Structure 1
Amino acid sequence: MEDYNSKPAFGFQNSRNANPHEIPFPSHSWSLEMLLRRLKAIDVKRDDKFASVLEAVGEFGTFQWRLVALTFIPSMLSSYFMLSDHFMLTDQKPYCNTSWILAVGPNLSTDEQLNLTLPRAPNGSFLTCLMYIPVPWDLDSIINSGLNYTETCKYGWIYPYAKTRSLINEFDLVCGNEPNKESMQTMFLVGILTGSLLFGLLSDKMGRYPAILVSLLGLLIFGFGAAFVKSFDQYLFFRLVMTQAAVGYAISSVSLVTEWLVGHHRAQAIILELCFMSVGVLFLSGSAYKIFHWRLLFLLGGVPMLPLISNIWVLRESPRWLMVKGKVEEAKKVLSYAAEVNKKTIPLNLLNELQLQGKKVTKSSVLDFCTNQRIFKVVLPMACVWYSVSYIYLTLSLKMKDFGVDNYVRYVIPGILEVPARLCCIVLLEYFGRKCSLFLSLTLATIICLFLLFLPQELKSIIILMLVLGEFCLAATVSVFFIYTAELLPTVLRSTGLGMVSLAWAAGANTALAVSSKIKTQLPILFCCLSCVVALCFASLVPETGTDPLRDSIEYSSSIQRDSIESKRRSQDIASMIIAEESLSDIGSDEVEKDTILNATLLKSEDGGLLDTALEKPSNREVSSPDP
């Protein structure tokens, strides 16, 4: 019998005679799992033509860097406008306007004026919603006799000790005119609901670029214009449209970034965009602390939108969306432009491979979420997870408010901690994948909710700390979830699907508001624990995306299924060969292992097409020819 090392298996030359500059082969230190992952990535690039084209364009060149950078500032301003209510409605101490007494005592100080014209409460403080009835007396008579009869404020209110100008003292929202906090929250949630539906449909029907442009215009017009409203009702209307635009931008921009970037670059870009949303909260908190007038806050937030609108031409439409809409030539032009910006050249034969599948445009509608079984199995669990996370997140925030935490502290500390929480997700997604990362963050949130459930209420500091840690874990959950959902949905319904799960977010937030306002015991925290368990159960029903290519259509063709089965079979066969070769000898087996991997790969590539190209960098180097 021939010595095994004297002649390579499968009739090929030994790899030692090959080009010495070839890419190195796996050694014993490489695990089988890493090799299988690499082989799976090869099949992904083979099956997903867009991945190959985008690799030729440049996975993260100047074009992609510019695309991602342009998403940062709008993301920051969207959170700035969405949370502005919490700093525009700061409490003010009102008193009835009794300036009538200045006609008889023009030199009276503010304290003297209040002392003569306002009744006092039993504790000695001035009543805020009552005043003494004016009398036609001189000042001495008023001082000596005093005033006895009261009435409600009919000349308006004054705020002599207010340090800031808020909506409260701007529109006199006091003494029975207070805005209904629940109604305002409901208006905010209505904005999320309508914005999710409107911009989700707009982005899928008209394109990502028009949806982003409309949302930016909405933030500019209604965010900047809110500084000039004349009534509180006008403010509520502007607030509604601002929320719609902010949600629409988040959905459209995530869809655009998901479809332009590949691999780990996609996750990193979306996470950085979410980090800038946290930066927007910090920017809002700092601005509200320093700026004394609420109108100036809106002016400050609206000014940066002007240069963004002027630079919107830098963005380009998603080529994936163009393809599913049958605009093949436009998709090729967009890809060629991106390659030109990156100083790359797309091979003509690779570009020509981009054609419509089946020679027809992919059609879809909202009804596909109910009629298409696979999409329904993805969207329903994701919506349930989103609902649960929303309920937990808002409940913890409201719980912190119940403990008397200042508005600035409530948003500054979580805003600071959310940035590292989101950045940690980059590492989690890289090493554990989408599903395991979601499980990990939800499990940590469950543990924290259990701590909150059993901690004594007297330990206020520890409870606040646990609430902050809970928001930290949920920030990581939201980051993973956004990426996970965008990758699971097909291109033709990606934005609409993100809008549908955003509806679940609004429903969960509305439930948290209703429960927390009616129940002041630990029952809402118990519901948080149950919601975490429900979220974990539904998350287990969703498939892992991993290195799978993005899906463009709502249908699975039989060829795609066959390719997937064939891909798995090839990987399993190669793994079996490697294991068999490793079992032959443990001494001096380095060269044997290299030959086995090379020969097995080249043999399978004869059936698999492009499998051999991923084990070496694209070049003109050839593998040695087989022995005759």
Structure 2
Amino acid sequence: MEQEQDSRPASASQNPRSSHQRETSLHSHAWSLEMLLRRLNAIDAKRDDKLASILDAIGEFGTFQWRLVALTFIPSMLSTYFMLSDFFMVTAQRPYCNTSWILAVGPNLSEAEQLNLTLPRASNGSFLTCLMYIPVPWDLDSIINFGLNYTETCKYGWIYPYAEKRSLINEFDLVCGNEPNMENMQTIFLAGILTGSLLFGILSDKLGRYPTILISLLGLLVFGFGTAFVNSFYQYLFFRFAVAQVSVGFTICSVSLVMEWLVGEHRAQAVLLQHCFFAVGILLLSGLTYKISHWRLLFLVGSVPMFPLLCTVWVLRESPRWLMVKGKVEEARKVLCYAAAVNKKTIPLNLLNELKVRGKKVTKGSILDFYTKQHLFKVVLAMSCAWFTISYIYFTLSLKIKDSGADIYFRQVVPSILEVPARLCCIFLLENFGRKWSLYLGLILITIVCLFLLFLHQELKSTIILMLMLGEFSLAATVTIFFIYTAELLPTVLRSTGLGMVSLAWAAGAISSLTMFSQIKSQLPIIICCLSCILTLCFSSLMPESGSHTLRDSIDYSRESSDFKDRSIDISTVVLPEESMSDVDSTDEVTKNTMLNAMPLKPEAGSFFSMDLEKPKNKELVSPAP
């Protein structure tokens, strides 16, 4: 009895430990089952996407994909070439009034003697640029002996005796009150991006990726090549407005087409390489402007590669995802078979036969869905905030570099060289940390740079320029990550329209930066950079990870995915190793359903998980495939 009594306290003392072990075991068991459920759901999603299976059969990155991606490099390079040419077209020139009237009485006068007799001088001895002596009907000796006293503004135009290059300034006499305002020129260009991003985004989702790309390439040829033949400065501004429209249109449509043809990490790598050619375009522009002395010839040389490009654009094919969304199943099969033939692959006939439109009706979408659909509204709101921030910071830092007194070639060439390694580093970040954490790293680094700029003394010019270069490096990487992340979060039916809408925010951020920096000469623009970065970090935390999932096609699928994220078990946050996925994939349907039935989870009625758990009740699903 005493032993029994003694054993009771001992067992009682062990109860807390045993209960803790049981709780740990239950938590571990629930966690493992939860992981299994996520894996099975990922497998089901991949199997439901028949198009992804066909793209795998075609080859992840074969000859067709290489050709598709390579054809986007040259237009990307040329679009940047045309977009940034304004910085080299408006170079400083020292004009003088045209006083060739004196050559009628003194034809043998040298240029220096002509200027000395007909132009008034400033207090420092230099010739005034916008005034001339009033012509008089005297002979040359009288003019030399008595001199001229009365002045007026230039009546017969201007001359540029010390100009080394032919630019817009001396072509259209943009001097003496007619000087072009660079902020206004950039605002007109950004207005073209505003209208073009929305116009070409909607056209791409309505007409298709291929015809919209063809329209943008033709526009780039017509308006880029045609800029060399304008007769006035206002015509030049109109052509620049049109070039901005078609350039942003090509960028949006090409990214949509490339991402919908490629699978896995190849999507991100292709967009990264395409963005690297933006920097190549800037370097090409800088080198040609250094060698070519006439601005018209610069546009002619830049347009030459467009002619062979338009002759080879026929090798592009429409996006099969867009065709499936529009219900064009037969056309989707044809382009998939063409891609397989180019890659020398064979698509299993059963996969082609299983390719069909999901649901009873063809998926439709409009721009109003970004307001009515909660998931789309959240994605566009968060990404628009991010694009506004990045654009505002990019233009603010660029204007800061300009104020530091750096040469125009330094301001364009050095950041362009830094952009290439910055974007190549993104490949490592995206593959190892995912979209969201790569985005966080870029935004945090930009915030640190802005904080340093805020507290650095203005006399430390070299340190400020170094921090500005570091900021340009971070911005280049962040812009590319944002582009990939946004395109993956948007559904196929509204992918280009969504990219166009976030491009509106990009243009709005640029215009805000130009306006604020020109009006405020304090540290307030940098303070706003820091605050906007923090705000963007908060908005970005609302977005799910997108790298490990297939592209979304319909609006309903996007809404459904947002509902999944709100559940207690978040499927989208788990990155699964391929080995474990392949192990589960090899399990037949009977085993999977048995394991699912054994799970002690009780999901809510009508939820995604309850729908999955109800699958075993269907005998046709339980029976293994013959």
TM-score, structure 1 as length reference: 0.85
Q: Match of 2:30?
A: none
Do structure 1's residue 606 and structure 2's residue 590 form an aligned pair?
yes
Q: Match of 1:312?
A: 313
Contact 1:383 1:500 in 2 (8 A): yes
Q: Which amino acid aligns with 1:283?
A: L
1:467-478 matches, within 5 Å, as 467-478=468-479
Quote how far apart the aligned CAs of 1:359 are.
Answer: 2.7
Q: Match of 2:284?
A: 283
Contact 2:39 2:584 in 1 (8 A): no
2: CA distance, partners of 1:307 / 1:599: 49
Query: Relative to 1, partners in 2 of residues 1:98 and 1:160: Cα closer, same or farther, differing over 3 Å?
Result: same
1:192-211 matches, within 5 Å, as 192-211=193-212
Do structure 1's residue 501 and structure 2's residue 507 form an aligned pair?
no
Do structure 1's residue 453 and structure 2's residue 437 form an aligned pair?
no
Q: Match of 2:410?
A: 409
Q: Match of 1:111?
A: 112
2: CA distance, partners of 1:570 / 1:194: 38
Q: Match of 1:398?
A: 399
Do structure 1's residue 181 and structure 2's residue 211 form an aligned pair?
no
Task: Deviation per CA, 1:13-52: give whole Å up to 9, x if none.
Answer: xxxxxxxxxxxxxxxxxxx999999888655532322211
Contact 1:133 1:149 in 2 (8 A): yes
Q: Match of 1:358?
A: 359
Query: Relative to 1, partners in 2 of residues 1:167 and 1:473: Cα closer, same or farther, differing over 3 Å?
Result: same
Between 167-176 and 182-191, the greater mean CA deviation after superposition: 182-191
**SS of 2:555's equivalent?**
coil
**SS of 1:151's equivalent?**
strand
Task: Deviation per CA, 1:140-186: give whole Å up to 9, x if none.
Answer: 22112111100000000000000000001000011111123232121
Q: Match of 1:421?
A: 422
Quote how far apart the aligned CAs of 1:111 are.
Answer: 1.3
Do structure 1's residue 347 and structure 2's residue 331 form an aligned pair?
no
Q: Match of 1:234?
A: 235
Query: Relative to 1, partners in 2 of residues 1:260 and 1:180: Cα closer, same or farther, differing over 3 Å?
Result: same
Query: Relative to 1, partners in 2 of residues 1:295 and 1:607: Cα closer, same or farther, differing over 3 Å?
Result: farther
Q: Match of 1:143?
A: 144
Q: Match of 1:14?
A: none
Contact 1:199 1:499 in 2 (8 A): yes
Q: Alpha carbon RMSD of aligned pairs, Å? A: 2.8
1: CA distance, partners of 2:537 / 2:494: 25
Q: Which amino acid aligns with 1:390?
A: S
Query: Relative to 1, partners in 2 of residues 1:299 and 1:330: Cα closer, same or farther, differing over 3 Å?
Result: same
Contact 1:44 1:547 in 2 (8 A): no
Quote how far apart the aligned CAs of 1:112 are.
Answer: 1.3
Task: Deviation per CA, 1:256-304: give whole Å up to 9, x if none.
Answer: 0010001111100000000001110111111111110000110011111
- Return the structure number with greater relative CO, CA threshold 8 A, min gap 6: 1
Query: Relative to 1, partners in 2 of residues 1:562 and 1:33: Cα closer, same or farther, differing over 3 Å?
Result: closer
Q: Which amino acid aligns with 1:553?
A: S
Q: Which amino acid aligns with 2:46?
A: K
Q: Match of 2:555?
A: 554
Q: Match of 1:4?
A: none
1: CA distance, partners of 2:153 / 2:454: 45
Quote how far apart the aligned CAs of 1:360 are.
Answer: 1.4
2: CA distance, partners of 1:35 / 1:297: 61
1: CA distance, partners of 2:300 / 2:245: 19
Query: Relative to 1, partners in 2 of residues 1:232 and 1:35: Cα closer, same or farther, differing over 3 Å?
Result: farther
Quote how far apart the aligned CAs of 1:138 are.
Answer: 1.6
2: CA distance, partners of 1:61 / 1:207: 23
Quote how far apart the aligned CAs of 1:352 are.
Answer: 1.4
Quote how far apart the aligned CAs of 1:529 are.
Answer: 0.8
Do structure 1's residue 102 and structure 2's residue 113 form an aligned pair?
no
Structure 2, unaligned runs of 5 or more = 1-32, 596-626
Query: Relative to 1, partners in 2 of residues 1:486 and 1:262: Cα closer, same or farther, differing over 3 Å?
Result: same
Q: Which amino acid aligns with 1:123?
A: N
1: CA distance, partners of 2:491 / 2:140: 79
Contact 1:40 1:547 in 2 (8 A): no
Do structure 1's residue 384 and structure 2's residue 385 form an aligned pair?
yes
Quote how far apart the aligned CAs of 1:604 are.
Answer: 6.2
Query: Relative to 1, partners in 2 of residues 1:297 and 1:560: Cα closer, same or farther, differing over 3 Å?
Result: closer
Query: Relative to 1, partners in 2 of residues 1:483 and 1:559: Cα closer, same or farther, differing over 3 Å?
Result: closer
2: CA distance, partners of 1:73 / 1:274: 11
Quote how far apart the aligned CAs of 1:546 are.
Answer: 2.2
Q: Which amino acid aligns with 1:219?
A: L
Contact 1:389 1:535 in 2 (8 A): no
Quote how far apart the aligned CAs of 1:549 are.
Answer: 1.1
Quote how far apart the aligned CAs of 1:557 are.
Answer: 9.1
Query: Relative to 1, partners in 2 of residues 1:300 and 1:260: Cα closer, same or farther, differing over 3 Å?
Result: same
2: CA distance, partners of 1:342 / 1:608: 35
Contact 2:373 2:559 in 1 (8 A): no
Q: Match of 2:294?
A: 293
Contact 1:94 1:174 in 2 (8 A): yes
Contact 1:570 1:604 in 2 (8 A): no
> What is the aligned length?
559
1:125-164 matches, within 5 Å, as 125-164=126-165
1: CA distance, partners of 2:380 / 2:563: 25
Between 172-181 and 453-462, the greater mean CA deviation after superposition: 172-181
% of aligned pairs identical? 73
**SS of 1:174's equivalent?**
coil
Query: Relative to 1, partners in 2 of residues 1:463 and 1:39: Cα closer, same or farther, differing over 3 Å?
Result: farther
Quote how far apart the aligned CAs of 1:349 are.
Answer: 0.7
Q: Match of 1:17?
A: none
Quote how far apart the aligned CAs of 1:599 are.
Answer: 8.0
Query: Relative to 1, partners in 2 of residues 1:287 and 1:608: Cα closer, same or farther, differing over 3 Å?
Result: farther
1: CA distance, partners of 2:337 / 2:407: 53
Q: Match of 1:614?
A: none
Contact 2:564 2:571 in 1 (8 A): no
2: CA distance, partners of 1:81 / 1:597: 47
Q: Which amino acid aligns with 2:114?
A: Q
Q: Which amino acid aligns with 1:160?
A: P
Contact 2:43 2:585 in 1 (8 A): no
Q: Match of 1:71?
A: 72
Contact 1:196 1:502 in 2 (8 A): yes
**SS of 2:152's equivalent?**
strand
Quote how far apart the aligned CAs of 1:108 are.
Answer: 1.5
1: CA distance, partners of 2:193 / 2:410: 25
